[in-house]
Structure formats: C-alpha cells, structure tokens
Copies of this chain bind each other. A is one copy, B any other.
C-alpha cells in the first residue's frame, strides 16, 4: 500500500466510548483493556500520519435539532434516547490523544451505522485520491463493519486494524475477524498494517499547515 493512496479511517474515538464517564464506556471497557485499543490507535494515527497517510476521523453526532422528529428504531434509537453523542457535549469530543492535527480531516454528518451514509466521507476519500481504507474504532461488528462493507462495495481496498477496534465482547470481536472481514479484504494488527505501508512523506499538506 502506498501511503499517499491510504486513509486511516478512525470511527468514533470519542469520549463517550473511550473514557470513564462516557455513556458507552462501560460496555466496551473490558475489550478496550484486552485489545489495548487506545494505545494501538494512537500508534496507528501517529505513525501512519508520519508516513504520509490521510488521517480521517469519523465521529458520530446525533443532532438535538433532529432528535425531535427522527425516532430511529434499533441501536441508533437507543443511542439517541440515552442522550449520547449530542453536539458540543464532552462525550462527543474526539479523545485528546487522537485530536486531528493539521492535514487530518474530520467527517461531518455520521448519525447512522455506516460512515459513508449521509456524510462527506466519500468526497474526502475521492478528493484525496485514496484507494486503501484502514479501518479502526467502535464497534468492530457494528459501525466499523458497516463502513467496511460499504467501502468494499465502493471498490476500496479494505484493511481492518483489528487491535485498534473494540466490540462488546471477545466473541463479537472475533466473529467478523474470522467470518466477514476476510471476504472484504485483510485483517491485520496495527503493527502489520504499518509495516505494509510504503512511506511517501510528500503528501500535499493543507495551506494552513
């Protein structure tokens, strides 16, 4: 993989999931510990950025403004009624360790499972000439998997950075690693993914950088 054609897609690394006091922290904390997810994510972001990959943060935000008329069923409905992921709230912020740096981008509009649905993710990937998506984040078998399935269907090469993900349980982490992701592309550790990336530090940086 050439770094200049590779995006590190980091899904929902927000306080809500990652930090004591986040509304969804309790349901993932044992897997965060078992996988060492946050340290791996930090390593992935920092080293991939240095190699010239595009870093794409994909936060979930459930706007108060449409919380009044849109009543989704299922898991998004549960998240909405829990009060999680409200705009401007602490829980919705990307965690300090992974805050976007100059040249990184953050996707707007994710309010369902797939990171492409209702967002500018595709425009960002296309604008930057990306062909490879390295996926990480929460939950492995829900939003990460939905985004991976769509990325595959859109023709991107899909790599799952498995130890920078977390699910509700080891079983829910391992089922897609074994049965789904190999149908779409590759499953790697963060170290393996980084080792497969050809550095190209010449990526055009934003004017602001």
Contact with B along A134-155 (1 / 0, CB 8 A): 0000000110001001101111
Residues in chain B near residue A149, CB distance under 8 A: 113-114, 146, 149
CA distance A128 to B155 in the complex (A): 10
Q: Are B183 and A152 in contact, CB atoms less than 8 angstroms apart?
A: no
A170 at the interface (CB under 8 A from B): no
A positions within 8 Å CB-CB of B: 54, 63-70, 72-75, 100, 103-106, 108-109, 111-114, 117-120, 122-124, 126-129, 141-142, 146, 149-150, 152-155, 157-158, 172, 175, 179-180, 182-185, 203-209
Chain B residue at smallest Cβ distance from A117: B153
Q: Are A185 and B74 in contact, CB atoms less than 8 angstroms apart?
A: yes
Q: Are A68 and B109 in contact, CB atoms less than 8 angstroms apart?
A: no
State the number of copies, please: 4
Q: Are A128 and B66 in contact, CB atoms less than 8 angstroms apart?
A: yes
Contact of A123 among B68, B73, B118 (CB under 8 A): B118
If A66-B105, A113-B152 are given as contacts, then 6 extra A-B residue pairs at C-beta distance below 8 Å, sorted by A number, are A64-B208, A67-B207, A69-B203, A74-B185, A118-B123, A172-B179
Q: Are B128 and A70 in contact, CB atoms less than 8 angstroms apart?
A: yes
CA distance A52 to B146 in the complex (A): 32
Of the candidates A111, A183, A203, the one having the most CB atoms from chain B within 10 angstroms of its own CB is A183
Q: Are A114 and B207 in contact, CB atoms less than 8 angstroms apart?
A: no
Known: A141-B180, A175-B179. A206 touches B152 (CB 8 A): no
Known: A114-B150, A117-B123. A185 touches B108 (CB 8 A): no
Report A97 CB to chain B, min CB distance, Å. 19
Contact of A73 among B109, B185, B204 (CB under 8 A): B185
